[in-house]
Amino acid sequence: MKREEPNVEKLRVMSVFGTRPEAIKMAPLVQELKRYPEIESLCCVTAQHRQMLDSVMEVFHLQADCDLNIMAPRQTLSSITCKCLAGMDDVIDRMKPDLILVHGDTSTTFAGALSAFYHQVPVGHVEAGLRTYDRYSPFPEEMNRKMVGAIATLHFCPTENNRRNLARENITEGVFVTGNTVIDALKTTVRRDYTFSTDELNALPYGEKKIILVTCHRRENYGEPMKNIMLALRQIALENEDVELVYPVHLSPVVREAVQTYLAGTPRVHLIDPLAADEMHNLMARCYLVLTDSGGLQEEAPALGKPVLVLRRETERPEAVAAGTVKIAGVVQEEIAALARELIRSPAAYERMAHAVNPYGDGQACRRIAEAILWHFGRRAAPPADYCGSGEET
């Protein structure tokens, strides 16, 4: 792989993100990059999700250098992408970055990478190499990350399996196995003495009852799958008097309508507004079990020793399934309820999942990414050692 020629000026590395999950995973990296005297760390937000993004920025004490503020009511994938591309034109011309970092698989990710390509600025893809091999599930994320993979110069893979996925697509240069930056974020947010911002969360019977944390919001689950998931959640609450379900409900009107239709008024189901990143992480740390269609929670919960049932037909994160800490529950009501029932009522089944090894990182992903960037630009003699999935480096 050809490396860039070293220069005496600081490297201008601009991180671009726009949603809550991206911000959680990019915040520790933006902060890590600031630690290096050779790097000027810049932050550009698109605000694809305005309110939920802002809460993360506040938790991690981040200030954006550029804010595109694109969010609009009932925005479409096309409108998000077009606004991002138009806004990034001016940002790149003004900030003149040497490298643009994008994360994962959102419309902001794709548009940020494409805009960088149009300006001939190299792209670093954080959380590279995740695949389901179904272009419509998750939608539009699967194609977003494949297209970013084709554009990127540097690929920062959480796991060795992600590297193998890229190799199948003949992407073998500029690939680094770093672990997932979300594990770095958890080191900052989770505290034993944490106090929640609401009486409802502080008053939950942690330790006395089994607290189940729920999220469900993905586009591919809209319609019949989401109805089935909601009915399964209702069944779990009604069948098990020793559980309390806590569901921070996504702001999507489609999600909120489904939740109100099938879950409102159900005993032992707490429907609350979306949580700030630190509150979500600390609630996860104290819960018994996680039911989710989120990608990030599949990585975060295993790091906290919490079993996860994935409310989807497949996952682009098979490492935790193989390790035993995650199971695919699907989108059929009785199948979801049956898997939850087993974990609620069988201590042996629960312990097998709770004590599985987390494969996603050791809290050093941001350091590895920073050192890989410096090596690429000729500021380090050697690249960082890869994360091998066991808390060690190779």
Catalytic pick from 22, 67, 98, 105? 105
Catalytic pick from 217, 281, 312, 368? 217
- For the question of residue 300 being annotated catalytic, the response is no
**Residue 321 burial (CB count, 10 A):** 18
Structure tokens at 356: 């599985």
Catalytic pick from 22, 67, 141, 319? 141
Catalytic pick from 40, 67, 127, 142? 127
Catalytic pick from 49, 125, 218, 219? 219
Structural contact between residues 350 and 343, judged by C-beta atoms closer than 8 angstroms: yes
Length of the chain: 394
Structural contact between residues 388 and 394, judged by C-beta atoms closer than 8 angstroms: yes
Cα–Cα distance list, 321 to 179, 282, 360, 387 (Å):
17, 23, 12, 19
- For the question of residue 281 being annotated catalytic, the response is no
- For the question of residue 217 being annotated catalytic, the response is yes
Structure tokens at 362: 């050791």
Catalytic pick from 155, 218, 250, 317? 250
- Mind giving me the DSSP string for 193-229? T---SSHHHHTS-BTTBEEEEEE---GGGTTHHHHHH
Three-state DSSP class for residue 186:
helix
Dihedral of alpha carbons 265, 266, 267, 269, sign: negative
Nearest to 340 by CA among 227, 316, 349, 217: 349
- Mind giving me the DSSP string for 290-357? EEE--SHHHHHHHHTT--EEE-SS--S-HHHHHHTSEEE--S-HHHHHHHHHHHHH-HHHHHHHHTSP
- For the question of residue 141 being annotated catalytic, the response is yes
- For the question of residue 278 being annotated catalytic, the response is no
Dihedral of alpha carbons 358, 363, 365, 368, sign: negative
- For the question of residue 103 being annotated catalytic, the response is no
Supply the residues annotated as catalytic: 105, 127, 141, 217, 219, 250
